[in-house]
Amino acid sequence: MAYSKKVVDKFEKTLQDPEKHSVGRWDPSDSDIGTGMVGAPACGDVMRLQSSVNKEIIHM
């Protein structure tokens, strides 16, 4: 088994319910949302991180 049980569990749960695990997409054109993307498709990994800031709290 190439990956630990923890990793596989997290993966499967995320796949079943992405929203619950903070995986998804906010509207990047919204002025309250900042979007960053890093990585390289050639290596097989690209990550997109979005944050939303209001007066008190940063949501990611």
> According to the binding rule CB under 8 A, does residue 10 interact with other proteins?
no
Which of 4, 6, 44, 54 contacts other proteins by CB under 8 A?
Answer: 44
In 3D space, the residue among 59, 56, 53, 57 whose CA is nearest the CA of residue 24 turns out to be 59
Q: What is the DSSP letter of 56?
A: S
Binding to other proteins, residues 14-43 (CB under 8 A): 14-16, 18, 23, 25, 37-43
Q: What is the rounded distance in angstroms from the CA atom of residue 55 to the CA atom of residue 57?
A: 6
Residues making contact with other proteins (CB under 8 A):
2-3, 8, 11, 14-16, 18, 23, 25, 37-48
